[in-house]
Amino acid sequence: MTAISRNAFLPWLVVGFAFLALAISFSARASIGLVMPVWDAELGWSRGFVSGIVAATLIVMAVMAPIAGRLVDRHGVRPLLSCGLAIGGIGSLIIAFADNRLVFAIAFVGICGPGFSVVATHVVSTAIARLFDQRRGLALGIATSGSTGGQFLIMPLVALILAEMNWRWSFIGLGVLSLLLAPLLWVMLRQEGAQQEKDRPTQASFANDFGFIIRRPAFHVLFGSFFLCGFTTTGIIETHFMPYAQFCGFGPIPSAAAYGLLSAVNMVGMIGAGWLTDRVNRVFLLGSIYVLRGFSYILLLNIGGDIANLLLFAALFGVVDYATVPPTASLVASHLGLRVMGLAMGLISAGHSLGGALGAYFGGFVFDRFQAFDWIWLSAIGLALLAGVMVLVLKDKVKGAELAAV
């Protein structure tokens, strides 16, 4: 392979391994929603308790996100994804053998949480944005779609193991898979590490970069909308959709199948949003995604016990679930700049995690108090519409016109 062909192949190799890493990490996170009813029945861990643990994990991720963003600015994606997968795998194995609340809390919050924070879309988005000048939106869409598309195969497998064996084997499988991929990714992306060292941008101090970011109005708009995005996706869908499906009378396998469909369509939605990001007004695209997401919850409120309605919601929501990531990352690159993109995306992703933490806790609190989910979905309608309105105050800049200096 010639030097030119190797240089052309490297960015797409990063895209592929980033997809795999996100697939495993996000599946480990989403499996909590599938196992939650089992823990309630087997171990007496209430939905409120587990939701609180999820919320605490998301807060840890929020704290770690800017740190991970700063690290990817300086060291590239290879060490972060490899170490994050290894840490998450260890945490999953500990959970598999947990019998009490404290061990579970330490494993999920204290071990998996930091792992999840670095195997994350903001780390991947920053790396991909730096590697691509052309077709950046498409590359962003493909790489970050691992956050949901990989679950199309992994989550039904987790559900099958849960049904045929028990929940412990589900976490053993996730842990082993993470630990196997970590060293493979480290070896396969060694060229990315060398290229990152060669092309690393000049770094200002953290204080200067942070001050530069927070003085930009675009940052506050994107941070606020991503906070609401976290509430309406990670917070209530990843944590409470499968418990809600089982509450409506569907078993673990149909519930996981619906979530798998959501994930598969989500992958298509993210890639499609990435493709559109290169071609249409990104502000209008992002605002429209939020508005359509808000309206999709109306169907969720009226699922009843009809499997067709459950699958229809999964398909519709999948289109607008994580589709916000490619246009948001592209807007960060053009409005805040590639040089500080890791830190900026880390801060914005911290907002997403905080919103997710609020949504996860709110959902558990509402269900424990009212034994119903209606107020969860009604709140999501209003907040998703608000996010869409917030985004529309931005102006789209010429794509590729990244800021270069403080």
- Per-residue pLDDT for 199 more than 60? no
- Please name the amino acid found at residue 132: F
Domain-embedded: residue 402:
no
More reliable by pLDDT, 30 or 186: 186
Rounded Cα–Cα distance for residues 304 and 363 (Å):
19
Domain-embedded: residue 141:
yes
Tokens found for residue 131: 């590697």
Work out the pLDDT band at 316, boundaries 50, 70, 90: very high
pLDDT at position 397 is: 64
Instruction: Report percent pLDDT > 90 for the chain.
Output: 18
Buried/exposed code over 38-49 (b: 16+ C-beta within 10 A; e: otherwise): bbbeebebebbb
- DSSP structure class, residue 398: P
Spatial neighbors of 232 by CB under 8 A, at least 6 apart, are 293, 294, 297, 355, 359, 380, 383, 384, 387
Tokens found for residue 241: 């959709």
- Per-residue pLDDT for 177 more than 80? yes
Residue 138 domain boundaries: 8-391
- Please name the amino acid found at residue 401: A
Work out the pLDDT band at 86, boundaries 50, 70, 90: very high
Domain-embedded: residue 403:
no
Domain count, the chain: 1
Domain-embedded: residue 396:
no
- Per-residue pLDDT for 375 more than 90? no
More reliable by pLDDT, 7 or 337: 337
What is residue 239's three-state secondary structure?
helix
Determine the straight-line distance between the first and last CA of the chain, rounded to whole angstroms. 39
> Residues 205-214: what's their mean pLDDT?
84
Tokens found for residue 198: 């060669």
pLDDT at position 6 is: 46
Domain-embedded: residue 1:
no
Mean per-residue pLDDT over the chain, rounded: 81
Domain-embedded: residue 129:
yes
Tokens found for residue 311: 């699958």
C-alpha distances in angstroms, 91 versus 97, 111, 171, 197, 229? Answer: 10, 5, 9, 31, 26
- The enclosing domain of 85 has a CATH number of 1.20.1250.20
- Please name the amino acid found at residue 200: R
More reliable by pLDDT, 204 or 62: 62
Residue 319: closest CA among 266, 389, 243, 257: 266
Rounded Cα–Cα distance for residues 182 and 84 (Å):
8
- pLDDT tens digits, 99-141: 888 998 899 889 988 888 888 888 888 878 777 777 777 888 8
Work out the pLDDT band at 398, boundaries 50, 70, 90: low
> Residues 360-384: what's their mean pLDDT?
83
The structure's pTM equals 0.76
> Residues 262-274: what's their mean pLDDT?
87
CA dihedral 202, 208, 211, 215 (to 10 degrees): -60
CA dihedral 231, 237, 243, 244 (to 10 degrees): 90
> Residues 194-218: what's their mean pLDDT?
71
